[in-house]
Structure 1
Amino acid sequence: MPLRVGYVREHFSSPLLQFAEIDAGRTIVLVECPSGTGQLISRLTNDDIDIAIALTDPLISGIANGSKAYKLVGSYVSTPLNWAVITGKESKYQSISDLKDTTIGISRQGSGSQTMAYVMALQQGWPTDNLKFKINNDIRGLINSVNDNSTSAFMWEWFTTKPFLDAGEVRFIGSVPTPWPSWMIAAHPSPTRAPQDEVRVFLETLTKYICTFDSAENRARANIDFIAAKFGYPVGDIEAWLKTVSYPKDCLVVSEKVVMDTLSLLEKAGVVKAPEGGFDVGEFVETNVAKLV
């Protein structure tokens, strides 16, 4: 049986999409999760997928908050994610500071959109224990919520949402980059759902596609053509994004420092609480698959 790989259909997923096109369902089947990492974690829990390529922070916070549905097995994007802070086209909010004590839109509980709202609050010096959220499921629900004033703002990756900015549906009032590398890879611990040797082969093969995508030659032309065809982004936006993103040289490597530093920041934001004696990185990483460094 091919591995069921959950992903979000965004420009970041381009190397994975190229892998899947050549693989043609022999070793992997892609399962699109448009609501983001919260949905990916839910589908791992509900036996809808075996592997998830998802945002670092909610993956780590999910394990810290008790999820046994997955462990980290690899890394996917090594640069931060730039989250736009987005409000309605005619809303009264003009800056991030205006959002204090308002209701923030999120896609799902435990999503990156929620985690980053805590990080934004921490940066602004706001209390994190009384933040108010409204779940709006997906990007269209989030856009509707800021325009009907049921929420003040929401956070989503900058280039993914820029087409809605260009169309005049929303306004950007700031941005908050993640303090950690943005994407990691998680797998269900079951040996029947995600056999470790198959997961390892998947990650080794994905690394080859990433290295090809990440080459200077392909960044100059082929990547731009691929992303424009798949996602319809303007060439200027694609070129700007490519200047900001880096991928790992080996998807099987997980940095212990990244995991622990992320946990430290999430604890300060009030998203997780350390157990007595502190966090154990072994609870987060499947070291029979990943190379923990």
Structure 2
Amino acid sequence: MVSALGFLASRVSLTPVFTVPEHFSSPLLQLAAKDSSIELVSCPSGTGQIMSALKAGEIDLSIALTEALIAGIVKKTADYKIVGTYVTSPLNWAVSVGKESKYQTIADLKGEKIGISRIGSGSQVMASYMALTQGWVDAAGKNLRDGVNDGRAAAFMWEHFTTKPFLSELRFIGHVPTPWASWMIVASPSLVSSRAEQLKKFLADLSESIHAFDDAEARKSSSKEFIKGHFGYPEEDVQAWLDQVSYPKVGVEVVEKSTIEQTLKTLEAAGVLEAPAGGWKIDDFVETSVATLA
């Protein structure tokens, strides 16, 4: 099963392992290959699908885009809290249009429909953020690559390297990087209350896998070869991605307060969220019995 942006969910139980073809997932895939207690579940529709699965109790743990997860907590889309940080660098969202589209720049999209993967997805949140950066606002859509070619949507947004293999059908007209660390880890209350030690062990093991993948020598050799072999990306794309991605240098259980504050401030300005009367309480977003708020 192929995921649009590599959104991942995990059951952290004694079940078989499923891999997900997405470059950001590499350290997690490497860990899951060694640990049969981890099952990785592909969520092709992105964060919206993850919210539904969390709400239904179908999954315990998820790694997904920071902006969508934080918006989901505020909107009570599903019951979960942040337990860690997975990727510390921004996500570079490519703005794509149809091959024969009349649109040449992001500015040309003012007042037009933007395709999104699902309500509550990162693509919807980032469409609002793009509107903020441009000084205008809007979003809607489905079946993204077809949508921009048959006229149902003017453009859509996906991560740059995930979209690049489809450039025979599409054309980039710009990029909108997130101004925050791009991937967070969240867990359901039931996982925290019933299997806290197992969750902590998973986070420690994931930290170890990330550090091995992120090692300077590994980036030049084994990590680069892993991505090429598993995802089929050409070496120049793998190297370009490795040059811009960063993972936590400490344990993944460390969550930067500034990341949550920056995301909330930006999403509020973009009209995605509305601050409560007493202001945001950062502790409400993080499971501090598991994660460290720094």
Q: In structure 2, the residue corresponding to 1:150 is in which secondary structure?
A: coil
Is residue 7–residue 54 contact of structure 1 (8 Å, CA) maintained in 2? no
Is residue 6–residue 33 contact of structure 1 (8 Å, CA) maintained in 2? no
Runs of 4+ aligned structure 1 residues displaced above 3 Å come to 1-9, 191-194
* Residue of structure 2 equivalent to 1:97: 107
Q: In structure 1, the residue corresponding to 2:276 is in which secondary structure?
A: coil
* Residue of structure 2 equivalent to 1:227: 227
Is residue 20–residue 40 contact of structure 2 (8 Å, CA) maintained in 1? no
**Alpha-carbon separation, structure 2, partners of 1:51 and 1:193:** 13
Shift of 1:43: 1.2
Shift of 1:8: 6.1
Name the count of aligned residue pairs. Answer: 281
1:161 aligns with 2:163: yes
Gaps of 5+ in 2: 1-10
**Alpha-carbon separation, structure 2, partners of 1:277 and 1:6:** 43
TM-score normalised by L of structure 2: 0.92
List aligned pairs for 1:193-272, cutoff 5 A: 195-249=195-249, 250-272=251-273
**Alpha-carbon separation, structure 2, partners of 1:174 and 1:18:** 33
Q: In structure 2, the residue corresponding to 1:272 is in which secondary structure?
A: coil
TM-score normalised by L of structure 1: 0.92
Higher relative contact order (CA 8 A, sep 6+): 1
* Residue of structure 1 equivalent to 2:177: 177
Q: In structure 2, the residue corresponding to 1:132 is in which secondary structure?
A: coil
**Alpha-carbon separation, structure 2, partners of 1:192 and 1:56:** 20
Shift of 1:81: 0.3
Is residue 32–residue 39 contact of structure 2 (8 Å, CA) maintained in 1? yes
Q: In structure 2, the residue corresponding to 1:84 is in which secondary structure?
A: strand
- Among residues 113, 123, 133, which one is paired with 2:140 in the alignment? 133
Query: What is the alpha-carbon root mean square deviation over aligned residues?
Result: 1.8
Shift of 1:36: 1.7
**Alpha-carbon separation, structure 2, partners of 1:233 and 1:68:** 34
**Alpha-carbon separation, structure 2, partners of 1:145 and 1:57:** 24
1:274 aligns with 2:275: yes
* Residue of structure 1 equivalent to 2:190: 190
* Residue of structure 2 equivalent to 1:12: 24
